[in-house]
A and B are shown apart, each in its own frame.
Chain A
Amino acid sequence: MFKSKLKYSNTPPKASIKRNTFFDDEIFGVAYDQKIILRFGKYLKPFRKQIIYSFIAVLFFSISSVSFPLIIKFTIDSSLYNVTNIDNIFLICIVTFFIGIIVNFISGYFQEIIIGKVGEKVLVDLRKSMFVHLQKVSLSFMDKTEIGRMMSRLQGDVAALQEFLHTITVGLGDLILITGIIFVLFFLDWKLALMMIGVVPTLLLVRIIWLPHARKAFIKSRVTASIVSGALAENINGVRAVQGLTREKVNYSLFEVLAHDNLKAQNIATRFSVIMMPIVDTLTGISLSVIIIGGGFLITKGNLEIGVLVAFILYVQRFFDPIRALTMHYSVFQRAMASGERIFELIDVPIEVKDKANAVKLKNIDGSIEFKNVTFGYIEKQPVLKNISFKINPGETVALVGPTGSGKTSITSLTHRFYDIWEGEIMIGDKEIKSVTQKSLGENVGMVLQEPFLFTGSILENIKYSQSKTTRADIVNAAKAVGAHEFIMKLPKTYDTILEQRGSNISLGQRQLISFARAIVADTKILILDEATASIDSYTEMLIQRALAKLLENRTGMVIAHRLATIRGADKIIVLQDGKITETGNHDELISLGGLYSKMFSLNYSSFDDIPDELIKSAAEETKENVT
């Protein structure tokens, strides 16, 4: 079927999908082991009542299930053999049997429905825990982990737990059954019971040897599955590039390798789970023959009644059946643990930015921002910002200017507390940002990203976004303010037009305007804006420049500026280089200063961002020479 083999050369292809593999161990911590099961306990806690009910139901169900053969035995023994008073006893037996059926039906139904529903809720809760946690973990974690990879945990691993759920009811009943049987056996004859149970230590021993290997195999099977889905997800997102560059065949053969690794891992895991079947059955056989041979011997010596032996033989079957079933469930259980581990790994990713216990609400701010001796970096000992200090007065617009990697984006991210700083203080109004709640910070500091991200949904919903109190009229006004109203009205369903994934059915410039309108609706006192670098068609460009001015009206603005027009219009320009502020002032002041800014300006680039690095370097060096 798949004949698309590659003309393999000696060197492996320069490929992408294979490279993802190392992420898993690197980002997530090492596995926890036995603690997993305890962790599930936390998710069961809210359902204590249901669990007690289901336990009662399981108990009744198991008792009624075990009682049927006993009732049959009793019917045959005492009513059919014994001819006196037949009708009454016989009828009582039959009636008991049918009462048993009713008990069995009711308890069976309740155990299924209660456990089933609790289980489904637990799964939903687990997924929600992961999702909620992802809303809080640091952005540096999110930056490093691919979406497909996380989705595999959010959906794939949760789904894997579902299988576990379906067997848990049966497993629970089986455990109760085994316990009951052991009691009965010891009650009947402890010597024979010991003989029979003598194989259990062997079983435990096998388990102990088997477990670590099996666990490894099960985990490998899940991890490889996750890699496969990650690779698949990435290809879905990049499908246009794949087709455009005719990479289909190479990708296919690389994917085939990953999928095949997964197949192999699954196969090995299966071997571990099926190997237990003959082992348990052999032990069952040993038990059976020990009882028959040993019991037979005891009987000949007159130490045992035949009735007890028969009961034992019947119970051996009933004892090992659930053990056999539990073995099968055990592999499901192991698979579930492997998935659980991956789920809890995600939940355990530490949260770096947290609200302080005594955090206050940030309100009635004047809009001033101050950085005091701020030092910060993403990697230890590699500071990106070095001892930065500056102040922005209420209502001012400040342009951050500097070459790529100079620290502009870090400053904006820190103002929003995406990360916590290493040293220094960041003040908004008279409050240090670490002392206020993140939520109130978000209500006061807005942000417009360089690349507008829009959600699937109507334009209305996108502009409104999380502002639940906003009316349609507000939204239309916001769109009018940024000049988006006209193009929206030309769309087939105006404001109710549904945007496709990432807003791909409108142009980049239009997406930008919508993200501006979204910021207007959020109406924050402080606005951080990362100006888009891409030149937009001249028609939209003018709209955007006007919208920008509108957006910054009556707000404190911090702009990572690329357009000369924006930079010149700013009240203050901060020039950054290698994580330090080298110049501050307005356009005219900086020009007369004759530093890096004026050098960059004299290069006459319409956009400030993409001045070639060599030019910046030489300009910077010249500036330094001038200083010394």
Chain B
Amino acid sequence: MSTKKIPYSKLKAESPNTASGTYVRIIKMGIKYKVQMFFGIIAIFIAAGFQLWIPILIGDAVEKISEIVSESDDATNRSVTTIGLLLLFASSMRGLFTGLYNYMGESIGQHIGYELRLLYYEKLQRLSFSYHSNIHSGDLITRALLDIEGVSMFVRTAFLRTIFMFFLIGTGTYMVIKADLVLGLISLSFIPFVGWRSIEARLKLRSSWYKLQEKMSILTKIMDENMGGIRVVRSFFSQNYEIRKFDSASKETLYLANDQVDIKSINISMISTSFLISMGLVLWIGGLKVINGSINIGELATFLAFMSILQQPVRMLGMMVNAFARGAASGGRLFSVLDMEAEIQEKKGAINLTKAKGILKFNNVSFGYEGERTLKNISFEAKPGHTIGIVGPPGSGKSTIAHLIPRFYDATSGEITIDGINIKDVQLDSLRHLVSVVEQDSFLFTASIEHNVAYGNPWAEDTDVEIASKNTQMYNYIINLPDKFNTMVGERGVSLSGGQRQRLSIARSILLRPKIIVFDDSTSAVDAATEQKIRIALKEATKNRTSIIISHRLSSLMHADEILFIESGEIQERGNHEYLISKGKKYSELYELQIRPKIN
């Protein structure tokens, strides 16, 4: 198959060094959820407020109780009860608002995950054939499974929590600085260190996550092909070989994962140690100050209490650094697909061609790069009610012609017109409604026969489905199945013979009543007699349609109004069957080769 290559560099995700753009995009996606953002941020401040109030209340309580011991006063006893109830209130509220902001954070993350899934799905549907033939489906599945989750998790665990953390650190900083400048600076001395460590670890983790996801793609590919080719695996009893293949890919992912554990472990330990060292220094120097008499002991105690507020955010930091790193790596891999421009684009103001007659014209059409042209200067015209036959050896460019008509690929030069309008000026949807290509190796979906036949027109009447299956000589087979039209087929359904599958996909196309129908070797597994019957049945249905039959079996296209013999991308001979036979060249040689042995 001739496909235009996309340079590999374009397929790769954005390099691990330009992650800030990824964050900006994720953040932009997040702040779209205004309601959640609003309530989430409010809840953060309230939760943090209550969090800070609780130690103050406890301090009050201890003070009051000390007073009770000395004075045994009934009034203070009552105020202790009040403080107790206030504590209950504060604690409940803290829980409520912490729950709320967590919920909002999760909600934003889940919505972004949902949105990304839809965007990704939509993108994959729109990306051109040239993209899909260059990328392994296992790779795309890995991105869908692991990278969307990576971004979503980053948002869920790190998005709002970053705000919460900065708020707590800010408050803590303010309190310690206010209490004592020198001690304050000492107590905050760990922050630059933590900042440096976090940035460094994040960079390392990001490139590691990036590599890990790439290796995961390879692992998915191996598993995907193992399951897809399960019969080959079983018939060669090569399970052990497959397991070894799996193991070596798996080992590489483990190696990278262990790398991450190394980075994370040293990072988390160093961050919390630096915090503890600061605390130790405060205790030491603060203690000396107390001994000197420059501060009193109560001040030191408050100071240390404030510092302990910072302990929780510091503990969370390691986890968040990882979430940031994974978010950037996964986001990069996802956005690289989402940003991929579909090669086939619809022009602005493109024409709707639904009502076209279906006069198809190729004008000097070429395809492929200089030096390896797969099609050279192809010109022909096909009118409604006419049939064009295209024949030639494998690799001659026959299928390329089929793929150019519905713009699965664009011609490199020359133009293709329908009713005189260049197909590049036509709305893609209307073009593809107009043109239907039946492929040789067509994909059936895991669904009932009925749904497969009606795949292109999901609201087709049952009678239409029946007619289409009658026309393709499938009806009798189907109604003899136990579940008739509800029989499941497809990847994991009932096994159909190659010919039956091809007939189903023909039914699927004719149901759409396209103005131009292209049979791309789509009866190769159907025997000649059945094919003849299909042709007769379709004759009435295709009376006003343009048909193009591509085949290497002459019996499929001998009847065509014009036959093009193609070799090395060029039309070598053209004319109807009788004329080409009388010419006695390549076509008639092929005829000799195919038809003679059967007559004898």
Contact = CB atoms under 8 A, between A and B. Distances in A.
B141 A274 contact: no
A321 B235 CA distance: 58
A159 B145 contact: yes
A595 B108 CA distance: 72
A402 interface: no
Nearest to A71: B283
Nearest to A2: B118
Contacts of A606: 527-528, 598
Nearest to A614: B476
A260 to B, nearest CB: 7
Contacts of A313: 58, 61-62
Contact of A446 (B219, B235, B439, B499): B235
A608 B330 CA distance: 53
Interface string B520-561: 000011111110010000000000000000001100000000
B456 A537 contact: no
B395 A278 contact: no
Contact of A247 (B87, B408, B455): B455
B129 interface: yes
Given A155-B220, A295-B65, A310-B62, A117 B261 contact: yes
Contact of B524 (A19, A289, A534): A534
13 contacts: A76-B300, A104-B272, A113-B265, A124-B254, A147-B227, A155-B141, A241-B445, A243-B432, A266-B110, A292-B87, A439-B237, A502-B228, A609-B497
Contacts of A292: 61, 65, 80, 83-84, 87
B264 A116 contact: yes
B437 interface: yes
Given A299-B68, A313-B62, A418-B234, A135 B508 contact: no
Interface in B171-195: none
B229 A537 contact: no
Given A131-B223, A456-B136, A508-B440, A449 B231 contact: yes
Interface of B is mostly: helix
Q: What size tier do the contact residues of chain B reach?
A: 35 or more
Interface stretch (B91-99, B360-368, B379-387, B410-418): B91-99
A9 B145 CA distance: 33
Contacts of B137: 233, 236-237, 501
A132 interface: yes
Interface string A246-264: 1110111001100110110
Given A535-B525, A612-B529, A466 B265 contact: no
Contacts of B226: 131, 134-135
Most buried by A among B107, B287, B442: B287
Contacts of B125: 235, 239, 242-243, 248, 251-252
Contacts of B162: none
Given A14-B459, A151-B141, A124 B250 contact: yes
B374 interface: no
Contacts of A135: 226, 233, 239, 242-243
A139 interface: yes
B91 A288 contact: yes
B237 A443 contact: yes
A300 interface: yes
Given A246-B456, A248-B126, A277 B269 contact: no
Nearest to B282: A72
Contact of B250 (A117, A128, A532, A537): A128
Interface in B94-134: 94-96, 98-100, 102-103, 106-107, 110-111, 113-115, 117-118, 120-122, 124-127, 129, 132-134
Contacts of A238: 443, 445
Nearest to B456: A245
Contacts of A150: 227
Q: Which 8 A-B pairs give the minimum distances between C-beta atoms?
A: A442-B237, A281-B95, A285-B91, A13-B458, A245-B456, A289-B84, A447-B235, A466-B238
B562 interface: no
Interface stretch (A79-87, A186-194, A582-590): A79-87
A152 interface: yes
Interface stretch (B6-14, B200-208, B446-454): B446-454
Contacts of B115: 1
Contact of A90 (B61, B239, B287): B287
B153 interface: yes
A17 B448 CA distance: 11
B90 A285 contact: yes
A121 B393 CA distance: 53
Contacts of B436: 244-245
B225 interface: yes
A266 B155 CA distance: 15
A535 B107 contact: no
Given A151-B223, A282-B91, A501 B136 contact: yes
Given A299-B69, A455-B229, 17 more contacts: A72-B304, A94-B283, A97-B283, A112-B264, A128-B243, A166-B322, A232-B120, A241-B439, A245-B436, A255-B121, A270-B110, A404-B497, A438-B237, A534-B524, A537-B394, A537-B552, A612-B476
Contacts of B145: 151-152, 155-156, 159, 229
Contacts of A288: 58, 84, 87-88, 91
Contacts of B454: 14
A278 B92 contact: yes
B279 interface: yes
Interface in B216-274: 216, 219-221, 223-243, 246-247, 250, 253-254, 257-258, 261-262, 264-266, 268-270, 272-273
A240 interface: yes
A610 B258 CA distance: 56
B229 A507 contact: no
Given A90-B287, A540-B394, A244 B68 contact: no
Contacts of A470: none
B247 A128 contact: yes
A16 B477 contact: no
B106 A537 contact: no
Contacts of A166: 319, 322
B98 A277 contact: yes
Given A68-B279, A104-B272, A155-B220, A441 B117 contact: no
Nearest to A15: B458
Interface residues of A, number: 174
Nearest to A293: B84
Contacts of A131: 223, 226, 243, 246
A367 interface: no
A128 B85 CA distance: 55
A291 to B, nearest CB: 8
A261 to B, nearest CB: 10
A69 B436 CA distance: 76
A610 B534 CA distance: 13
A549 interface: no
B527 A607 contact: yes
A416 B234 contact: yes
A127 interface: yes
A625 interface: no
Interface in A275-309: 275-282, 284-286, 288-290, 292-293, 295-297, 299-300, 306, 309
Interface in A56-89: 68-69, 72, 75-76, 79-81, 86
A379 to B, nearest CB: 10
Most buried by A among B68, B96, B227, B408: B227
A552 to B, nearest CB: 16
Contacts of B304: 72
Contacts of B66: 306
A296 B77 contact: yes
B69 A306 contact: yes
Contacts of B280: 94, 97-98, 101
Interface string A139-158: 10011111110111011100
Contacts of B113: 263, 266
Contacts of A578: none
